[in-house]
Amino acid sequence: EIVMTQSPATLSVSPGERATLSCRASQSVSSNLAWYQQKPGQAPRLLIYGASTRATGIPARFSGSGSGTEFTLTISSLQSEDFAVYYCQQYNNWPPTWTFGQGTKVEIK
C-alpha cells in the first residue's frame, strides 16, 4: 500500500504571501497525483490532477509540480478564500483503490 505524507500539518501564512505545501509518496506514483481544497462544512474541491494540470475554474495562482514520490502545491499569493485544508491523493491501479494524505491546514498568520 502506498502511503501519502503531507507536510507541514499546519502552515501559517499572511494574505498575499506564497504558500508551499508538500506531499510525499512511499513509492513512485508517476505523475498521477491530485490535490483538493476543503473549507469547513464543505465537500472537497478538485484543484490539480496529473500533478500539474489545473481543474476547470481553478485560478492560476494555484500550481502543482513534481513526479515520482515528491510533489508540491504552490499558492502564489494567498487570498482570503484560500485559507482551507489541502489534501493530496493517489490512485492504485491494482487493486483500484485510493489513498489520501493526512492534509495540510493553511491558516492566517
Partner 1 sequence: EVQLVESGGGLVQPGGSLRLSCAASGFTFSSYWMSWVRQAPGKGLEWVANIKQDGSEKYYVDSVKGRFTISRDNAKNSLYLQMNSLRAEDTAVYYCARESRALLWFGVATFFDPWGQGTLVTVSS
Vertex 39: Cα angle to 98 and 87 (nearest 5): 30
Contact 36, 24 (CB under 8 A): no
> Interface with partner 1 includes 102 (CB under 8 A)?
yes
**Number of residues forming the site for partner 1 (CB under 8 A):** 28
Vertex 71: Cα angle to 93 and 47 (nearest 5): 80
> Interface with partner 1 includes 22 (CB under 8 A)?
no
> Interface with partner 1 includes 101 (CB under 8 A)?
yes
- As measured in angstroms, the least distance from the Cβ of 30 to partner 1 is 5
Backbone angles phi, psi at 73, to 5 degrees: -110, 125
Nearer to partner 1 (CB atom), residue 45 or residue 61 = 45
Contact 78, 16 (CB under 8 A): yes
Which of 3, 91, 107, 108 is close enough to bind partner 1 by CB under 8 A?
A: 91
In the sheet that holds 19-25, the strands lie side by side as: 4-7, 19-25, 70-75, 62-67
Site string for partner 1, 25-64 (x = CB under 8 A): -----xxx-x-x-x---xxxxx--xx--x-x---------
Q: Which residues bind partner 1 (CB under 8 A)?
A: 30-32, 34, 36, 38, 42-46, 49-50, 53, 55, 67, 87, 89, 91, 95-103
